[in-house]
Structure 1
């Protein structure tokens, strides 16, 4: 009779995600993961496979949550432009309180996307999902006469997704709220009709 797991795999995955998010893939050892999760090496390997597989599962968890939250915020039914601003302001606030970790997907992109196809595919899919969500918000904004109708929604979605990711990078270098507010204001000024 197989032994039943005496731990919550989702909670363990969340702890591993935080470890990778804080230290990155290269700087996180299996021993770090053992300590962060409270599991033995054998339980960790049996449940999640190797370090790389656990990293991919953690990245998927973060990406799925981030995308879901972003789409929900951009489709909340209020003013499309206000929704976009709110998403950027939430990112600024999160960056101010995340102890300099930035965005796990951005960190994974910078650290591993070019040398690891699995991570590259996942981070590219994350960016594509974000671009699509912003493009839909731009279309809604154009319909509501809040966003310049001459803008290509797809191009504007790409622009906003990159600006959103840029907020996370900038916050690691210059976490000053005024600097991030300037970035948000300049970004959103591009959207409004002249």
Structure 2
């Protein structure tokens, strides 16, 4: 008698997320997904749904990971300025890392406007990042680690839009030195 293999849905979502991250939504086939998840297509439909539902779950998984990361950063014993500098450097490394970059930005550019459910998830993720940056920048200003006349809100908006621009620049030019220079400039101008 054949033994049923227990299906680990969280692991399957992680594997599918990696495929979408590498190939994008449009470049990923159902076969790519089922091979990565090590299930057949009927099992996919029976447990998770279609490709679009799976993509939504993968983006949710990704944004949940990011949310947990931001929470951990805010609860760190480091100073707000040190957390902010580390965050900017980590964000830069995400852009440069393994050719995958940020799944949220990639998704926003690829299907954010055509899929309302994914767009809503991505907007919520962007709002969490914005709130994180506003909180952190506000704390750094309060303890005099950042001396600025600008509001935390405008600096958070500036960073998020700059970061998206760094991502686009890296896609087009693949110039790591340029991205690192822009991040260093941001740190010098805004944080120090």
TM-score with structure 2 setting the length: 0.89
Once the two structures are TM-superposed, the CA of residue 5 in structure 1 deviates from its matched residue by 6.3
* Structure 1 residues 5 and 50, CA gap change in structure 2 (3 angstroms): farther
1:192 and 1:90 map into 2 onto residues whose CA distance is 15
Contact 2:30 2:51 in 1 (8 A): yes
1:167 and 1:78 map into 2 onto residues whose CA distance is 26
Contact 1:85 1:184 in 2 (8 A): no
* Partner-residue secondary structure (3-state), 1:102: coil
What is the aligned partner in structure 1 of residue 106 from structure 2? 107
Contact 1:95 1:175 in 2 (8 A): no
1:169 and 1:129 map into 2 onto residues whose CA distance is 22
What is the aligned partner in structure 2 of residue 57 from structure 1? 57
1:39 aligns with 2:44: no
1:192 and 1:102 map into 2 onto residues whose CA distance is 24
Number of residue pairs aligned between Structure 1 and Structure 2: 190
* Partner-residue secondary structure (3-state), 1:157: helix
1:32-181 → structure 2 map (5 Å cutoff): 32-98=32-98, 100-181=99-180
Once the two structures are TM-superposed, the CA of residue 160 in structure 1 deviates from its matched residue by 1.9
Once the two structures are TM-superposed, the CA of residue 77 in structure 1 deviates from its matched residue by 2.4
Q: What stretches of structure 1 of length at least 5 have no aligned partner?
A: none
Contact 2:34 2:44 in 1 (8 A): yes
After TM superposition, the structure 1 stretch with the greater mean CA deviation from structure 2, 22-31 or 162-171, is 162-171
1:93 and 1:16 map into 2 onto residues whose CA distance is 23
1:177 and 1:72 map into 2 onto residues whose CA distance is 28
* Structure 1 residues 175 and 88, CA gap change in structure 2 (3 angstroms): farther
1:81 and 1:55 map into 2 onto residues whose CA distance is 35
Once the two structures are TM-superposed, the CA of residue 55 in structure 1 deviates from its matched residue by 0.1
1:50-71, Cα deviation, whole Å (9 max, x unpaired): 1100000000000111122133
1:113-136, Cα deviation, whole Å (9 max, x unpaired): 111111111111111110110000
1:125 and 1:23 map into 2 onto residues whose CA distance is 23
After TM superposition, the structure 1 stretch with the greater mean CA deviation from structure 2, 52-61 or 85-94, is 85-94
Moved over 4 A (4+): none
1:68 and 1:168 map into 2 onto residues whose CA distance is 22
1:153 and 1:96 map into 2 onto residues whose CA distance is 26
* Partner-residue secondary structure (3-state), 1:26: helix
Once the two structures are TM-superposed, the CA of residue 6 in structure 1 deviates from its matched residue by 1.6
TM-score with structure 1 setting the length: 0.88
